[in-house]
Structure 1
Amino acid sequence: MPLSDPDVCDLPGGPRRIALLGGGFSTDADGVLDAWVLGHARAARPKVCFVPTASGDAEGYVDRFLTAFGALDCEPSVLRLFRREAGDASLRAFLLEQDVVYVGGGNTANLLAVWRTHGVDRLLTEAYGRGTLLCGISAGANCWAEGSHSDSFGPPAHLPDGLGLLPGSVCPHYDSEPARRPSYRRAVASGALPGGWALDDGVGALFTDGTLTETIGRTAAARVHRVEADGLGGTSEVPVTT
């Protein structure tokens, strides 16, 4: 369920920003999208925390992050929840000092469940209100919205769940997985998901206070798409130039 406690969401700290990624260190060798993310951090040498919950804290995934971001001008770290060591106060302090929280891909439903068990959903909402840039790929993009198109339970389908920090819904892998586009459009048309944003692989989309403010594409063809119900039982789909 979306988090809407005004005492948490309306803290001062600058604009509230979320970056949805259709790539990054885990899929692309060129580092374009990761450099773009760091360029929007609030610090010249940002603290960047990788959260691999959706993959079950897969060590290979963690290693790829540390290798990629260890070569960049930042201070990388990792939050593992499957072998958590920090207490609640230390966990809160750690997350609130991060300039960027970068969430990896995997299972969106499992990610949300584990976060709620550890209270990380509320800590990330607090960090968002204080100006931390939240970002991620696949499940790490889905989790910020009110709902998403996810393969958490098998074939891609609607998941009416998320932190609710970004209005509407999100669908990743829009151009690379053939089942995504028709299934997502059916979910939006039926009202199973609110209208939202579909991401081709290779794009980045920055939202400031819930509004799309910037996009980037690794290729000329990569797009972010706005998908909404058309009121006639179908959907409208408008690509955004990157």
Structure 2
Amino acid sequence: MAVVPERRLALLGGGFSTEDDGLLDDWVLDQVRTPRPKVCFVPTASGDAPAYVERFLAAFRSRPCEPGVLHLFRRELDDDALRSFLLSQDVVYVGGGNTANLLAVWRAHGVDRLLREAFDRGTLLCGISAGANCWAEGSHTDSFGPLTHLPDGLSLLPGSVCPHYDSESGRRSSYRAAVATRALPAGWAVEDGVGALFTNGRLTDSVTRTPQARLYRMAPDGNDSVEEQALPCRLLAAAHQPSAPA
């Protein structure tokens, strides 16, 4: 009987683009059983910003992996090569930026369909901010300027996602209102510093690089309000601690 691959994705509240300790990026790589996994960065949400790409490469070239980048604003791969490239990756790591624009560009190039196929084959999908929003049924976003709800996404993760829950003014109240009124389905609020791993649609690990950061499960309570449940997160530690002075 053929083994069905696990379908896994991770929501990141940090990583190489926002901090230098590398804890969340190392945690992502730890989820892959390949000795030197292929890790594809997808910077579509930032318009393939060159500085963002260079920051990714600088962070991952020193890690035990094979980093690559998918450029769509200066696309060089035909449809067959694009499919072959994406399906050969062990990790697809999506950067932050504009969620609505990201989804539109992916659909124009058929990347949304290819990511679904990769997901079904066992590729780990992950990302920060827009790169976390995109996997859900809907998300909380500033894609249109003011904070609002976006009932659109790839629906690989049931429910909705809100990034930067603790660090951006208005996020908490606006997302709570969207879930309470059912403008967005029940979902996950991710504070900066948190990583959440989902396997076959279920939360299977939650970690944090700082003791105070949390992951929240959000659901309407039936009384025009929302139930906010803080979930335990395992504190990540650096792989190599400095030696104590003699």
TM-score range, shorter chain: over 0.9
Match of residue 34 from structure 1: 25
Q: Which has the higher contact order (CA 8 A, sep 6+)?
A: 1
**1:188-228 Cα deviation digits (max 9, x unpaired):** 01110001000000000000000000011011111100010
Match of residue 105 from structure 1: 96
Of residues 98, 105, 108, the one that matches 1:114 is 105
Shift of the alpha carbon at 1:27? 0.3
**1:22-62 Cα deviation digits (max 9, x unpaired):** 00000010000000000001311100000000000000000
Match of residue 210 from structure 1: 201
Of residues 202, 223, 238, the one that matches 1:232 is 223
Counterpart CA distance in 2 for 1:165 and 1:144 is 5
**1:50-96 Cα deviation digits (max 9, x unpaired):** 00000000000000000000010000000000000100000000000
List structure 1 segments (4+ residues) > 3 angstroms apart after TM superposition: none
- Report whether the alignment pairs 1:79 with 2:70: yes
Q: Percent identity?
A: 69
Unpaired segments ≥5 residues, structure 2: 234-246
Match of residue 3 from structure 1: none
- Any idea what SS the aligned residue of 1:197 has? strand
Q: How does 1:55-94 map to 2 (within 5 A)?
A: 55-94=46-85
The letter for the 2-side match of 1:148 is: S
Counterpart CA distance in 2 for 1:86 and 1:41 is 26
Q: TM-score, normalised by structure 1?
A: 0.95
Counterpart CA distance in 1 for 2:32 and 2:104 is 28
Unpaired segments ≥5 residues, structure 1: 1-10
Q: How does 1:160-171 map to 2 (within 5 A)?
A: 160-171=151-162
Match of residue 140 from structure 1: 131
- Report whether the alignment pairs 1:95 with 2:86: yes
Shift of the alpha carbon at 1:107? 0.1
Counterpart CA distance in 1 for 2:18 and 2:52 is 11
- Any idea what SS the aligned residue of 1:34 has? helix
The size of the alignment, in residue pairs, is 232
